[in-house]
Amino acid sequence: MTNNILTALISFIVTVAVSPIAIKYLTKLKFGQEIREIGPEWHNKKRGTPTMGGIVVIFSVLVATAFNYKLLSPKLLLVLVSSVSFGIIGFIDDYIKVVLKRNLGLTAKQKSFLQVLVAAVVLVTGLNYGIISTNIFIPFLKIYKDL
């Protein structure tokens, strides 16, 4: 079994194992999103459904990566930093919804700004350290452009 498949399998197993525990814990803490009264009737079924599930996903990816730390490369590290950063944005959004009881969480402008900021930092870091490039390759047409 290749390391990539093993890493994905570990991440899946950790997610499946940790999710029920996290759901019980988040439900116990009442970390469920409130549903607005003006929404459709069927939306009420979602009332109290725990939010912050992204924590489990990010955790499982980090655990799987730790098991296969030999695979760590600058590119993978950049992807992990990017993923965790976007996970933090999601956590902040859910935290505002659940703890501060503001049903909409971050505004669209705030969320977009933070996401563009993370993307820009990742892009500039990747370009400065030669981790990513601006080259374009179009498969099937075998076109390769160095920008």
The DSSP output letter for 50 is B
pLDDT at 126: 94
Confidence of residue 38 (pLDDT cuts 50, 70, 90): low
pLDDT at 4: 79
In the chain, at which residue ranges do the beta strands (DSSP E only) sit?
Answer: 136-138, 143-145
Report the chain's mean pLDDT, rounded to a whole number.
Answer: 85
> Per-residue pLDDT tens for 117-126?
999 999 999 9
**Which letter, b or e, does each residue of 22-44 get, where b requires 16 or more Cβ atoms within 10 Å of its Cβ?**
beeebeeeebbbebeeeeeeeee
Burial (0-12, 13-18, 19+ Cβ within 10 Å), 62 = middle
> Per-residue pLDDT tens for 89-119?
999 998 888 888 777 789 999 999 999 999 9
pLDDT at 144: 79
Q: Is the pLDDT of residue 68 over 60?
A: yes
Q: Regarding predicted confidence, which is higher, 30 or 84? A: 84
Query: Rounded distance, CA 9 to CA 17, Å?
Result: 12
Q: Is the pLDDT of residue 6 over 60?
A: yes
pLDDT at 121: 96
C-alpha angle 23-25-28 in degrees, rounded to nearest 5: 105
94: left (phi over 0), alpha (psi -120 to 50) or beta: alpha
